[in-house]
Structure 1
Amino acid sequence: MFNAEENPWQILSEQNVYDNKWINVTEYQVINPSGNPGIYGKVHFKNRAIGVLPLDADMNTYLVGQYRFVLNQYSWEMPEGGGPLNEEPIDAAKRELLEETGLKARNWTELQRMHLSNSVSDEFAIIYLATGLEQFEPEPEDTEQLITRKIAFDEVYNMVCNAKITDSMTVAAVLRTKLMLLEGTLPLQ
């Protein structure tokens, strides 16, 4: 009898195969759970993924459109970015919201913590709801060419349901927010 929560993988060796300021890739020689030799690759993220779903008093949210290099396609999503592991996640969220939309929020609620692709990476995300919004000038990074759209939350919810939005953090944030609305637990300030 085995304990299902114990690690069934045996690591024989590991080799660092790639490293930059954002990620590290390691290849492991392993014995897999059924006892056979194999390899496993792991992408380690050096930053925490941060997402912010801004919601104004009229139930509008703000989406950011940008071309995603890795996907080779355009994507509509909530403001997102990376927060250094030594930075408070809420501070990273405030910075990302201002950078991408020019918005500042008086009220912050943590919506969700999640792993983004636990089969090949350890990327971890924290998602916030931002309310009590005030508009300032956006401050995008030089790697960003963004378009910001103010859209009714219900329309964004329909975009998620119809797979027009596929970014996992945005999907999770919108579905969590919709559930909280239905339950009457969403802090609308």
Structure 2
Amino acid sequence: MGNKHEENPWQITGEKAVYDNPWINLTEYQVINPAGNPGIYGKVHYKNYAIGIIPLDDELNTYLVGQYRFALNQYSWELPEGGGPLDIDPLDSAKRELLEETGLKANSWTELQQMHLSNSVTDELNIIYLARGLEQFEAEPEDTEQLIIRKLPFDEVYRMVCTNEITDAISVAAILRVKLLLIEGRIV
């Protein structure tokens, strides 16, 4: 199936755990790189899937979640998203995240995309779902989350991607994917 160019050119000669918490761990590897020279490589291993949901109602409105992102030191508008344990069906995690952050439940779920978010230094796998047939219930945010929820027309959210008001990778990918599906007439 694969050709010679797809084989792993890296050799690991040693490894050392650098950091570990319930969500990630960081390992430093001693390697022989593809050119045959010794070096080091750091890898962040994620202990959860990165789950993203684009809820889309019958009038083509969607929901954004606003929150201050510690790592960026800035406020971010993004789709509902969060971590899903690797040993749990990612769709179940998506349903939980959507309800927790927005109070929404969906009758129809479609997997839209799988992505590796930063594959030069992490193994984090993102799975994006489209949620349709929405019903409103009570939101149940986690205590680490101070969330603001905005219901907006999808075209406005698409414009926010085009003007860099939305920069979260999961949100950008999901919104652009849905825009293409709308253009192709595959979402009505």
Range into which the TM-score falls when normalised by the shorter chain:
over 0.9
The answer to whether structure 1 residue 13 and structure 2 residue 14 are counterparts is yes
- Cα distance between partner residues in 2 of 1:71 and 1:9: 32
Matching residue of 1:44: 45
Structure 1: tracts of 5 or more residues without a match: none
Q: List per-residue Cα deviations over 1:92-139 (Å, max 9, x = no partner).
A: 000000000001111111110110100000000110000111111100
Q: Distance in 1 between matches of 2:130 and 2:53?
A: 6
Supply the distance in 2 between the matched residues of 1:163 and 1:4 (Cα, whole angstroms): 36
Does 2:146 correspond to 1:148?
no
Q: CA deviation at 1:182?
A: 0.7
Taking the TM superposition and a 5 Å limit, the aligned residue runs for 1:35-114 are: 35-114=36-115
Q: Deviations over 1:29-67 (max 9, x none)?
A: 111111111110000000001010001111100000000
- How far apart, in 2, do the equivalents of 1:159 and 1:33 lie? 41
Aligned to 2:134: 133
Which residue is 2:180 aligned to? Answer: 179
Instruction: Flag structure 2 segments of 5+ consecutive residues without an equivalent.
Output: none
Q: Secondary structure at the match of 1:14?
A: strand
Once residues 93 and 40 of structure 2 are traced to their aligned partners in structure 1, the CA distance between those partners, rounded to angstroms, is 35
Question: What CA distance in whole angstroms lies between the structure 1 residues aligned with 2:186 and 2:35?
Answer: 45
Q: What is the root-mean-square deviation of aligned Cα atoms in Å?
A: 0.9
In structure 2, distance between residues paired with 1:6 and 1:161: 37
Mapped partners of 2:53, 2:13: distance in 1: 40
- The amino acid across from 1:148 in the alignment is I
> Following the alignment from structure 2 to structure 1, what is the Cα–Cα distance between the partners of residues 152 and 98?
16
Q: Distance in 1 between matches of 2:81 and 2:181?
A: 21
Q: What percent identity do the matched residue pairs reach?
A: 74
Instruction: Give TM-score scaled by structure 2 length.
Output: 0.97
Q: Which amino acid aligns with 2:127?
A: I
Equivalent-residue separation in structure 1 for 2:185 and 2:131 (angstroms): 17
Partners of 1:151 and 1:36 in 2: CA distance: 53
TM-score normalised to the size of structure 1? 0.96
Write the deviation string for residues 151-178 of structure 1: whole angstroms up to 9, x where unpaired: 1100100111111100000000000000
